[in-house]
Amino acid sequence: MGNCVDCLRNFFCGTKNTNVRFSLPAVCILLQTAMIVLFGIFIRYDEESDSHWAKHKKDNNITSDIENDFYFRYPSFQDVHVMIFVGFGFLMTFLKKYSFSAVGFNFLIAAFGLQWALLMQGWFHHLDPVTGEITIGIESLINADFCCAGSLIAFGALLGKVSPVQLLLVTLFGVTLFAVEEYIILTLLHCRDAGGSMVIHCFGGYYGLAISWVLYRPHLHESKRLNGSVYHSDMFAMIGTLFLWMFWPSFNSAITDHGDGQHRAAINTYLALASSVLTTVAISSLSDKRGNLDMVHIQNATLVGGVAMGTAAEFMITPYGSLIVGFCCGIISTFGYLFVTPFLEKYLKLQDTCGVHNLHAVPGMLGGFIGAIVAAVASEAVYSKEGLISTFDFVGEFADRTPATQGGFQAAGTCVSIAFGIVGGVCVGLVLRLPIWGDPADDNCFDDEVYWEVPEEEESIPPVLEYNNHMMHKHQDISESNFSVEQS
């Protein structure tokens, strides 16, 4: 019997079975059905999206519909939504034959993740103890998109090496872990992390890296021919880069305080991003002997200003402080792509397809500590008394917390997110090693044909064939015994 299990295991590991015809539909239908049932039990409209809004307005002396949170946050929500689906999706299309999977699987797991996130985040943050119901509004949708982002970042480290079924599991567990660490960091430790340097990028980055480390493929070089870009796939990736870059001010300001909070977060992020573009270009050019720029750096390291400002964007970090953050992180991230990613692969057995280590994990961690420092030096002179209280939410049981203490808690929060990412990632990685999820063989990675119907590149065939036929006749005229047929 034990022998038989070994046989089975050998069979699965020997020749990978990538047929997901039953597992993928089963998982999709199961998860979606579960979502419907759980939404039926728990999820309701909040008072701003319910048709009792007219009554709510009257009861709360709200004079105008424009005070509905929808109008404060909807433009930012749509920008974040674009970042999740077009930004993350297209950023990963750079591989020459994996664009369908990059954008398609991103689409699939984000669409599932946001539903599961509404439930998980609802249970932790918005569960009404009396009715047992979760109420959702526009801010919940933004938070759900944020929560997906953690798993999409992890996808970046795994790109090309896992099946869609595995990705759904990564998302299922990733969103769950996210909700727990977010609850610990934001509620228990009472950290501020509007743009998610800690809870999204640092967690998501280390989560993906840990999974990738567990799933290490010693023979991945067998797919080396496909692990690279072509001219137009790099252009598609730039669509992703630019939409992420342009809308990052919305990302970091989407759930900050109304008024100056959102305003300041947008300005700071805008500046940090601009700064990191210039240092990325500088280091990229300096690293090549002809001074040529590398698309990998431009596509990724330019975004690092946004990641690193995820915590501090809503603080009074000052405009030049934002520029300094972008300046330093642009350099660090580009050096990461040049030296750290190859090092990790060679010595730590860590294959990180998109370099999330340099774009999310490290900059997210730095962003967490930058936030801690900026929080620790906050003063009433700079913020005003009211501003300090509203920015750091020093109310209720936290009314006596000082900025210095807050800084300490922010730093602690960053460590919590790293720990959750690594430990959670290792556990999920072990689950994914079960040989039943349909992942590709080592010589079959980075290839859309494993999971997609890919159109044949027949564009040039008809004229060539015609031409060949023509030439064949010519050949036959000249020499009956020889001919040359080809197809490209």
Q: Which of residues 420-439 bind its own copies (CB under 8 A)?
A: 438
| Cα 424–chain centre separation | 16
**Minimal distance, residue 110 CB to its own copies, in Å:** 8
Q: Is 190 left (phi over 0), alpha (psi -120 to 50) or beta?
A: left
Give me the count of residues in the chain. 488
Among 52, 219, 433, 473, binds its own copies (CB under 8 A): 52
**Minimal distance, residue 210 CB to its own copies, in Å:** 26
| 229 part of the interface to its own copies, by CB under 8 A | yes
DSSP state of 1: -
Contact flags string 138-177 toward its own copies, x per CB under 8 A: x--x----------------------x-------------
Which amino acid belongs to residue 214? V
Q: Which residues of 170-197 are buried (b: 16+ CB within 10 A; e: fewer)?
A: bbbbbbbbbbebbbbbbeebbbbbbbbb
Among 91, 92, 103, 200, binds its own copies (CB under 8 A): 103
User: What does the alpha-carbon distance between residue 245 and residue 233 come to, in Å, rounded to a whole number?
Assistant: 18
- Select 214 or 374, whichever has its Cβ closest to its own copies: 374
Q: Which stretch binds its own copies (CB under 8 A): 8-16, 213-221, 378-386, 412-420?
A: 378-386
Residue 110 token pair: 């984000």
| 291 part of the interface to its own copies, by CB under 8 A | yes
Q: Kindly identify the residues of this chain, within the stretch 21-50, that bind its own copies according to CB under 8 A.
A: 21-26, 28-29, 31-33, 35-37, 39-40, 43-45, 48-50
Q: Is 196 left (phi over 0), alpha (psi -120 to 50) or beta?
A: left
**Minimal distance, residue 333 CB to its own copies, in Å:** 15
| 473 part of the interface to its own copies, by CB under 8 A | no
Place of tokens 């398609």: 104
For the chain, what is the largest distance between any 2 Cα atoms, rounded to a whole number of angstroms? 98
Q: Kindly identify the residues of this chain, within the stretch 385-424, that bind its own copies according to CB under 8 A.
A: 386-388, 390-391
SS3 136: strand
Place of tokens 């100056």: 260
- Select 80 or 184, whichever has its Cβ closest to its own copies: 80
Q: Kindly identify the residues of this chain, within the stretch 73-102, that bind its own copies according to CB under 8 A.
A: 74-76, 78-79, 81-82, 85-86, 89, 93, 96-97, 99-100
